[in-house]
Amino acid sequence: MSRWDNDDEEEDDDEDIPWDADEPATVVCPYCRAEVLEDLPQCPKCGNYFSQEDSVTQTKPPWVVLTAVLLLVVFLMFVLRF
């Protein structure tokens, strides 16, 4: 008899099923430590986004601001000369 043959022990059929199969998958918010659903892009408690690509961009990129300022300076120099 091999040491891997365990005829005396009953096989547990529940090992293949996760212990929380009826409950939805959750993760912990890295900002407020609240338990939230895994599929959500944003924490419902604190409002922070879980990834950068899901977050809303609040500010303009620096090159847009710099271009706008340079165009304004060029326009003002042109208007004040004439």
Q: What are phi and psi of 13, to 5 degrees?
A: -75, -15
Residue 41 lies in a domain: yes
Tell me the whole-structure pTM to 2 decimals. Answer: 0.41
Residue 37 lies in a domain: yes
State whether residue 47 is helix, strand or coil: coil
Helix (H) or strand (E) holding 13: none
Q: What is the pLDDT of residues 7-28, one digit of tens each?
A: 555 555 555 555 556 778 888 9
Residue 6 lies in a domain: no
Q: What is the pLDDT of residues 38-70, one digit of tens each?
A: 888 899 999 988 887 766 767 778 898 899 999
Tokens of 66: 């710099």
Residue 11 lies in a domain: no
- Count CB-CB contacts under 10 A for residue 1: 6
Residue 8 lies in a domain: no
State the total domains in the chain: 1
Residue 4 lies in a domain: no
